[in-house]
Structures are given as structure tokens and as C-alpha cells.
């Protein structure tokens, strides 16, 4: 139903018998798009005047009123009204208060449908830049801690079982690579959102000589939409955005899981700073990895938003439907959660203490060199599968006798194969690591090269986005 605001003759729709019924209202959520909404309205007004659809005098009054409203919002003097449903109607209604009936000309050649679609795209582009910068900062932190731990040795795991020795730097750089893919995904989302929708009207275009190309340039869009119906109803870019958030949260959650395990009394590989851990309310000896746990837990909320968006979109006929009002809740919450978790993870890394000796001891007190011993026999001419069986039998017997590989003599080795020679005793955690010198391996020179490349990539990203 429609109600008339008699003070300014401003018509708006409400749901229910009570004007304050907030069931249809989205203002508590979409008011954070005020900057985009005002910017879009100013550009639209300028275009209308340029095309002589409104006068220059009207343009100046409208823009003056919009800037006054922006000032009110920034100074927390603006009264947000749920009865006016959304950010667009709140601002337009207030514009009537400032400049009177001329405010009605702002909506010429524009619908809320193409207005909100443009606003949310501008907001998404802005937040993509913020997240890209946050990811680059986190990458930098991983690189810095990796540089300090090139020579730090720890077990590499598969199935949470010790597999092969690696450098801690190599381990941290794995997360750098994950984040690099995340960064690329947000760049792709930026491109998907970089389409200007104004000029599409409610669904079929507008009856005025609007200059959409000028609007796109003014609002920093590289493209304009090709189909008005698709333009006002497309929310694929939001799905892509939340999907990108879901993947970066997945990576942060994986790291959090390792932090939680590594900080446990059973591992003691690391110590989390008191800034990012909390004490128990009952057990005074404990420090809980609460921040890492919360990152892990909040990941599920972002996943939920992704599924929520798919559910909203799956049954919508063309074009705009009120269901789409719910898209911003998922968009904004996913963005806020992702940014906060990126900051927390960065803080954890910057303040973490690495227990190098514990990591090294864990690697030494194991059969982690078994694969390298098998490869030794392969290099002596034995087929790998045969070598595998030999070393498997060796480790089984040593386990029964509670003997470590480092305790073996050359005579002990020869009991299992005559192909063993004195040089097998030269095998160590260090030599095993250095032998992994294929591209992408854990050998020191490979890791150093990866670090150098990572720093170059981070600089490129930082230089590209620092202005934002």
C-alpha cells in the first residue's frame, strides 16, 4: 500500500497497518550504502542537466541538498526511518525537507531497481579493494615469518601423520599461495561488479535521452549493462563475492586449525600471544586459542550466506523481486566477517612465538626419513616398489625395538639390503630437505626464490591498490 507524507508530498510504500512496521524495511542494513547512493544520485543529477532533462538551477539545488544530507549522516544527525523502508527513500524524503518539490526531479529517468543495483555494485567494488589490500597485508606477514624460518625444520604431515621433513618457511608459503588465489578471485569479482546499471529503469529502459556512457565514466565503471532486464535483476556478482569470501575463510580456517593443534600441549610447536588467546574461567593453567577458534567458527556463517544467496536467486522470475532486498544482508555480513578474520589472522601471525627446538625434536624422533632412504636405494638401481617394501620392513622392526633410524649403523642397514653403503649415514633432515630442489620444493634455494617472487608480487598489488 502507499502512504502520502503530507509534509513534503513524498509518496512511499509500506507494509502492514503500522507505519513503523519494519517487516519490509531494510534501512538498518542498507544505510551503510549511503555514500554510494548519494554519489550515484549526484552523478545522475549532473547527467540529467547535461542532457537538458532538468535545468542547471535544479541540478545545483538537488546536489546542494544531497551534500547537506551527506554532512548530516557523517555527523550522526540524520534520522533513519524504518517507515521509509530503505536508504534510497530515506535520502529522497530528506531531500524534500531541504529543497522542496524540486527533489521530485531527482528520480527522473531512474527507478529504485536500477538505483539499488548500481549502488550495491559500487559498494562491492569498494569492499573488494579493501579485502584485496587486507589479503596483501596478510601475505606480507606470512612472507616475513617465512623469511625468519627458512632453516626451521618440522615434520610435514599427511593424514595428520608425519610424512617428510620440511622447512617452516615452505609451510607458511603454502598459505601465501592460497591467499594469492583468493586475491585473484576478488579481482575477478571486482570485474564482475564493474558494470553500470543506471539507465535500465524499472526493467525496460527509460524514456529519456540519458547518457549512460557518461554516467559510467563519472561513477568509475568500465562497462554498462547490455540488457535492462538482466541489469536490474542480476546478483551473480554478489554470489561470486560471497564465494570468494567463503574460499578465503576456508583458508583462514585451515590455518586456524593448525594454530590450534600446534599450540596444544601435545604439540607445543608454537605459543599464541596473550593478545589472541584467553584464560579459562575455571582452569587457571590454560590458555585457550579462542581467536583462532572463532575464525574457524565464523567460516560457517559465511558459508551460510553463500547458500542463502543461491536460495534467494534460484526461483526468481525476471525481473526485480522484493526477495532481492535480502541480498545485502548476506553481502555485508560476509564482507565484515571476512575483513575481521583477515585482521585477526594477521595479528596472530605477527605475534606468534615459534618453538623451533620442539619442531626439530618432533622431526628427529620419528621415521620421517623413510622415504628418503627408499629413494637412496632407488638411486642404487632398485625399483621403487621393491625399495618401499624393504624400508617398510625396516621401520616396522625398528618400531618394535623402539630404535630410531639415526641410531642405525652401516651394518644394521646392510641386514636389509647390500645396496646400502657408508654414504647412507650422511642422510639427515637437512640433506633430505635440500634434496627436494624441484620447482616448488622445500629446498632452501627454492624457498628463497619463492620468497623473492612473493615479495615482488606483493609490491605489485600494494602499488596498484595503495591509492584506495
Is residue 452 assigned to a domain?
Answer: no
Residues 217 and 348 reside in one and the same domain: yes
Rounded to whole angstroms, the Cα distance separating 184 from 168 reads: 25
**CA proximity to 199, closest of 123, 120, 111:** 111
**Residues 6 or more apart in contact with residue 208 via CB below 8 angstroms:** 48, 51, 53, 108, 109
Q: What is the dihedral of CA 108, 220, 51, 67, to 10 degrees?
A: 60
Active site residue 280: yes
What's the pLDDT tens digit per position in 105-162? 999 999 999 999 999 999 999 999 999 999 999 999 999 999 999 999 999 999 999 9
Is residue 450 assigned to a domain?
Answer: no
Three cell numbers at 218? 563519472
Is residue 451 assigned to a domain?
Answer: no
pLDDT band at 12 (very low <50, low <70, confident <90, very high): low
Q: Is the pLDDT of residue 393 over 80?
A: yes
pLDDT at 398: 92
pLDDT at 279: 74
What average pLDDT does this structure show over 173-190?
Answer: 98
Rounded to whole angstroms, the Cα distance separating 425 from 453 reads: 35
pLDDT at 178: 98
Is residue 238 assigned to a domain?
Answer: yes
Mean pLDDT of the chain: 94
Q: How many domains does the chain have?
A: 3
* C-alpha separations of 195 from 45, 46, 126, 309, 464 in Å: 19, 19, 13, 20, 20
- Name the packing angle between helices 112-147 and 236-262 (round to 10°): 30
What's the pLDDT tens digit per position in 41-87? 999 999 999 999 999 999 999 999 999 999 999 999 999 998 899 99
Residues 29 and 141 reside in one and the same domain: no
Active site residue 159: yes
Residues 67 and 176 reside in one and the same domain: no
Residues 152 and 284 reside in one and the same domain: yes
Residues 45 and 124 reside in one and the same domain: no
Residues 117 and 172 reside in one and the same domain: yes
Q: Is the pLDDT of residue 390 over 90?
A: yes
Question: Which among 2, 75, 159, 438 is annotated as catalytic?
Answer: 159
**CA proximity to 398, closest of 386, 385, 410, 413:** 413
pLDDT at 107: 95
Q: Give the CATH number for residue 372.
A: 1.10.40.30
**CA proximity to 327, closest of 347, 346, 306, 342:** 306
Domain containing residue 67: 2-108
pLDDT at 466: 74
Determine if residue 13 is left, alpha or beta; phi over 0 gives left, psi from -120 to 50 gives alpha, anything else beta.
beta
Q: Is the pLDDT of residue 177 over 60?
A: yes
Q: Give the CATH number for residue 93.
A: 1.10.275.10
What's the pLDDT tens digit per position in 289-314? 999 999 999 999 999 999 999 999 99
Pure H helices in 148-235: 168-193, 212-218, 228-233
Rounded to whole angstroms, the Cα distance separating 202 from 200 reads: 6
Residues 168 and 198 reside in one and the same domain: yes
- Name the packing angle between helices 236-262 and 327-350 (round to 10°): 30
Whether the CB-CB separation of 127 and 242 falls below 8 Å is answered with: no
What's the pLDDT tens digit per position in 420-463? 999 999 999 999 999 999 999 999 999 999 999 999 999 999 99
Residues 381 and 432 reside in one and the same domain: yes
Residues 213 and 148 reside in one and the same domain: yes
pLDDT band at 6 (very low <50, low <70, confident <90, very high): very low
What's the pLDDT tens digit per position in 324-353? 999 999 999 999 999 999 999 999 999 999
Cα-flanking dihedrals φ and ψ of residue 225, to 5°?
-70, 145
Residues 323 and 347 reside in one and the same domain: yes
| Residue given cell 575455571 in the structure block | 282
Mean pLDDT lowest for which of 8-17, 130-139, 376-385? 8-17
Question: Which among 204, 280, 301, 406 is annotated as catalytic?
Answer: 280
What average pLDDT does this structure show over 170-182?
Answer: 98
Q: Give the CATH number for residue 316.
A: 1.20.200.10
% of the chain surpassing 70 pLDDT: 94
b or e along 368-388 (b: 16 or more beta carbons within 10 Å of the residue's beta carbon)?
bbbbbbbbbbbeeebeeeebb
pLDDT band at 278 (very low <50, low <70, confident <90, very high): confident
Q: Is the pLDDT of residue 11 over 90?
A: no
Rounded to whole angstroms, the Cα distance separating 110 from 380 reads: 78
Is residue 449 assigned to a domain?
Answer: no
Rounded to whole angstroms, the Cα distance separating 79 from 68 reads: 13
Residues 243 and 321 reside in one and the same domain: yes
- From 65, 93, 108, the end of a domain falls on 108
pLDDT at 23: 83
**Residues 6 or more apart in contact with residue 351 via CB below 8 angstroms:** 272, 273, 275, 276
pLDDT band at 7 (very low <50, low <70, confident <90, very high): low
Three cell numbers at 365? 624422533
pLDDT band at 10 (very low <50, low <70, confident <90, very high): low
Is residue 332 assigned to a domain?
Answer: yes
pLDDT band at 1 (very low <50, low <70, confident <90, very high): very low
Residues 128 and 248 reside in one and the same domain: yes
Q: Is the pLDDT of residue 468 over 60?
A: no
Is residue 290 assigned to a domain?
Answer: yes
Is residue 125 assigned to a domain?
Answer: yes
pLDDT at 462: 94
Whether the CB-CB separation of 14 and 85 falls below 8 Å is answered with: yes
Amino acid at each position: 500500500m502507499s502512504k502520502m507524507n503530507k509534509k513534503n508530498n513524498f509518496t512511499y510504500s509500506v507494509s502492514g497497518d503500522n507505519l513503523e512496521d519494519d517487516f519490509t524495511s531494510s534501512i538498518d542494513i542498507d544505510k551503510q550504502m549511503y555514500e554510494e547512493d548519494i554519489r550515484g544520485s549526484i552523478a545522475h543529477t549532473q547527467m540529467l542537466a547535461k542532457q537538458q532533462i532538468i535545468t542547471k538551477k535544479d541540478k545545483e539545488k538537488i546536489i546542494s541538498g544531497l551534500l547537506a544530507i551527506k554532512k548530516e549522516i557523517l555527523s550522526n544527525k540524520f534520522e533513519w526511518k524504518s517507515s521509509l523502508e530503505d536508504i534510497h527513500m530515506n535520502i529522497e524524503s530528506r531531500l524534500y525537507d531541504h529543497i522542496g518539490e524540486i527533489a521530485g526531479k531527482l528520480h527522473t529517468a531512474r527507478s529504485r531497481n536500477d538505483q539499488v543495483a548500481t549502488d550495491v555494485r559500487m559498494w562491492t567494488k569498494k569492499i573488494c579493494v579493501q579485502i584485496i589490500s587486507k589479503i596483501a597485508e596478510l601475505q606480507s606477514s606470512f612472507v616475513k615469518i617465512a623469511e625468519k624460518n627458512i632453516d626451521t625444520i618440522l615434520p610435514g604431515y599427511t593424514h595428520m601423520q608425519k610424512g617428510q621433513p620440511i622447512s617452516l618457511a615452505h609451510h607458511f608459503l603454502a598459505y601465501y599461495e592460497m591467499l594469492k588465489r583468493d586475491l585473484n578471485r576478488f579481482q575477478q569479482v571486482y570485474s564482475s561488479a564493474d558494470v553500470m546499471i543506471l539507465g535500465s529503469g524499472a526493467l525496460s529502459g527509460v524514456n529519456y535521452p540519458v547518457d549512460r556512457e557518461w554516467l559510467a565514466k563519472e561513477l568509475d565503471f568500465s562497462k554498462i549493462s547490455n540488457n535492462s532486464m538482466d541489469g536490474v535483476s542480476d546478483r551473480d556478482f554478489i554470489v561470486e563475492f560471497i564465494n570468494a569470501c567463503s574460499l578465503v575463510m576456508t583458508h583462514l580456517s585451515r590455518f586456524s586449525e593448525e594454530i590450534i593443534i600446534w599450540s596444544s600441549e601435545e604439540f607445543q610447536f608454537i605459543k599464541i600471544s596473550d593478545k589472541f588467546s584467553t584464560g579459562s574461567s575455571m582452569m587457571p593453567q590454560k590458555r585457550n586459542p579462542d581467536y583462532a577458534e572463532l575464525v574457524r567458527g565464523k567460516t560457517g556463517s559465511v558459508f551460510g550466506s553463500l547458500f542463502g544467496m543461491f536460495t534467494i536467486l534460484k526461483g526468481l522470475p525476471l525481473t526485480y523481486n522484493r526477495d532481492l532486498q535480502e541480498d545485502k544482508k548476506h553481502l555485508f555480513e560476509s564482507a565484515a566477517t571476512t575483513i575481521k578474520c583477515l585482521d585477526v589472522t594477521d595479528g596472530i601471525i605477527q605475534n606468534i612465538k615459534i618453538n623451533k627446538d620442539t619442531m626439530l625434536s618432533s622431526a628427529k624422533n620419528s621415521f620421517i626419513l623413510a622415504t628418503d632412504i627408499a629413494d637412496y636405494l632407488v638411486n642404487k638401481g632398485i625399483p621403487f616398489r621393491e625399495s618401499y617394501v624393504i624400508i617398510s620392513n625396516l621401520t616396522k622392526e625398528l618400531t618394535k625395538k623402539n630404535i630410531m633410524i639415526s641410531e642405525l649403523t652401516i651394518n644394521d642397514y646392510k641386514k636389509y639390503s647390500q645396496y646400502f653403503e657408508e654414504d647412507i649415514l650422511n642422510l639427515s633432515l637437512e640433506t633430505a630437505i635440500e634434496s627436494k630442489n624441484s620447482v616448488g620444493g622445500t629446498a632452501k634455494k627454492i624457498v628463497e626464490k619463492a620468497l623473492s617472487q612473493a615479495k615482488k608480487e606483493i609490491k605489485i598489488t600494494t602499488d596498484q591498490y595503495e591509492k584506495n
